[in-house]
Homo-oligomer: A and B are copies of this chain.
Amino acid sequence: MGFPETHGSTALLTDHYELTMLGSALADGTGDRQCVFEVFARRLPAGRRYGVVAGTGRVLEAIADFRFTDAEIDQLAATAVVDDDTLSWLANYRFGGDVDGYPEGELYFPGSPILTVRGTFAEAVLLETVALSILNHDSAIASAAARMSSAAHGRPIIEMGGRRTHEMAAVAAARAAYIGGFATTSNLEAGRRYGIPTRGTVAHAFMLLHDSEEDAFRAQVEKMGTDTTLLVDTYDITCGIETAVRVAGPELGAIRIDSGDVGVLARKAREQLDSLGAKDTRIVVSGDLDEHAIAALRAEPVDAYGVGTSVVTGSGAPTAGMVYKLVEVDGRPVAKRSENKASRGGEKSALRRHKPTGTALEEVVYAAGQRPEAGENDRELPIPLVRGGKPVDGLPTLEDSRQRLREGLVSLPWEGLKLSSGEPAIPTVFPQEA
């Protein structure tokens, strides 16, 4: 039980045309051609200076569960999507190829080869839709979360936006935000599925349920102890804080302010708490915060942020705009004719150049097998993810991904961390085109 996202089949999370293409390619024999597909973003969302890869681990789960069981075959047969020969082929489908890609938490830039899938056309084309769904969603959230974490300068952020996005997207968003540096989530399913620490105390409904604010605070402290977070802005914040400290004592864990001009209110609250002897009581603020609001609160006495809508919607960029393009057929580079889209044929790999100080200089995207002369401070970016259809051992954990992102952000030139609109923090170069 338990909304088993990956216990069922992922095979129908797929665009109709992947199967009709497959049917035609199996019929004329081209389905057996060895192909390379590449996932990349032509550009970053407008004004963004970096992107953060997330979702790769979920893509590997989706590939493992990409099976056409009787239920899927019956549905395709009933709706005449493909013919019987194709259905027989699908019934035996297992991806048997190789996958390489940027690990989660890695930064990316326009043209970075985020995922490379090698296999026959038939086996690799089918994975397009679900791989893109996952990477486009999760990377959009992680990219927004990284900007917020960076703006928060070490203060913890709780992700609490599940109610503002699709109920399963919420679970993935909590995971991506955690990769992006958030400390915790409100989402219980993300806690179960990914081991992310969950947090929560009460909402305004709990306050309104009780006959008085004091009754509500007493009930909460009785149950959760004094190291809890009391919500003080239901009626009047000053009265609320006074009551909170009276009920819980100066050892009260935290107060939360969810509305109004939270910067001003936090300053006043700090003074009031200190004057009441509650010098260690933390101040948590929430309510329509995004990276800009968080940055604006840097000088205020805020101890933690709660972020909802803005992170789960990618803070203005709800999808990463990645594409899954066929770049090589039987060893021959292929690309669509294109006037203004960057379409480059051929399998690629990538490394990032750094100054001796560790500051990133450029993203070098090169033809696979033609690695440019190595500099001392180069770092190869893709890692092996799948070999012969099986995930490789020792793939990075979520904690590894968080650490990778921290190191990546530290390596950016200082302008790269600005929240304002700008160019990508480092240029992408294609040495074989020079």
Q: What 1/0 flags go to A19-41 for Cβ under 8 Å of B? A: 11101110110100101010000
Kindly name the residue among A13, A329, A336 whose own CB sees the greatest number of chain B CB atoms within 10 A. Answer: A13
**Chain B residues in 8 Å Cβ range of A209:** 25, 30, 33, 35, 121, 326, 329, 334
Cβ of A108 to closest chain B Cβ, rounded Å:
17
Q: What 1/0 flags go to A179-211 for Cβ under 8 Å of B? A: 000000011110110000011111111111110
| Copies of this chain, count | 2
Is B10 within 8 A of A1, CB to CB? no
Choose one: B3, B160, B188, B204; the contact of A5 (CB below 8 Å): B3
Kindly identify, within residues 149 to 183 of chain A, every residue whose CB is under 8 Å from any CB belonging to chain B. Answer: 160, 162-173
Assess whether A137 is interfacial by the CB under 8 Å rule: yes
Is A200 within 8 A of B165, CB to CB? no
Kindly identify, within residues 118 to 132 of chain A, every residue whose CB is under 8 Å from any CB belonging to chain B. Answer: 121, 125, 128-130, 132
**Chain B residues in 8 Å Cβ range of A14:** 187-189
Assess whether A325 is interfacial by the CB under 8 Å rule: yes
Is B166 within 8 A of A166, CB to CB? yes
Kindly name the residue among A23, A170, A201, A259 whose own CB sees the greatest number of chain B CB atoms within 10 A. Answer: A170
**Chain B residues in 8 Å Cβ range of A321:** 164, 309
Select the stretch in A219-227, A360-368, A385-393 that faces chain B. A219-227
Kindly state the separation between the CA atoms of A23 and B10 in the bound complex, as whole angstroms. 37
Kindly state the separation between the CA atoms of A240 and B203 in the bound complex, as whole angstroms. 60
Choose one: B62, B189, B235; the contact of A337 (CB below 8 Å): B235
Is B25 within 8 A of A326, CB to CB? no
Is A129 within 8 A of B2, CB to CB? no
Kindly state the separation between the CA atoms of A170 and B136 in the bound complex, as whole angstroms. 12
Cβ of A75 to closest chain B Cβ, rounded Å:
5
Is A162 within 8 A of B208, CB to CB? no
Cβ of A61 to closest chain B Cβ, rounded Å:
11
Is B219 within 8 A of A27, CB to CB? yes
Cβ of A280 to closest chain B Cβ, rounded Å:
22
Is B167 within 8 A of A222, CB to CB? no
User: Which 4 A-B pairs have CB atoms at the shortest separation, nearest pair first?
Assistant: A16-B200, A17-B200, A166-B169, A132-B163
**Chain B residues in 8 Å Cβ range of A134:** 166-167
Contacts A12-B188, A69-B2, A201-B20 hold; do A133 and B318 have CB atoms under 8 A apart? no
Assess whether A8 is interfacial by the CB under 8 Å rule: yes
Choose one: B75, B204, B260; the contact of A326 (CB below 8 Å): B204
Is B79 within 8 A of A23, CB to CB? no
Choose one: B35, B121, B129, B329; the contact of A163 (CB below 8 Å): B129
Is B166 within 8 A of A19, CB to CB? no
**Chain B residues in 8 Å Cβ range of A203:** 17-18, 21, 128
Cβ of A30 to closest chain B Cβ, rounded Å:
5
**Chain B residues in 8 Å Cβ range of A312:** 319
Cβ of A331 to closest chain B Cβ, rounded Å:
13
Contacts A165-B169, A205-B125, A319-B309 hold; do A219 and B3 have CB atoms under 8 A apart? no
Cβ of A301 to closest chain B Cβ, rounded Å:
23
A83, closest chain B residue (CB): B223
Kindly state the separation between the CA atoms of A204 and B338 in the bound complex, as whole angstroms. 12
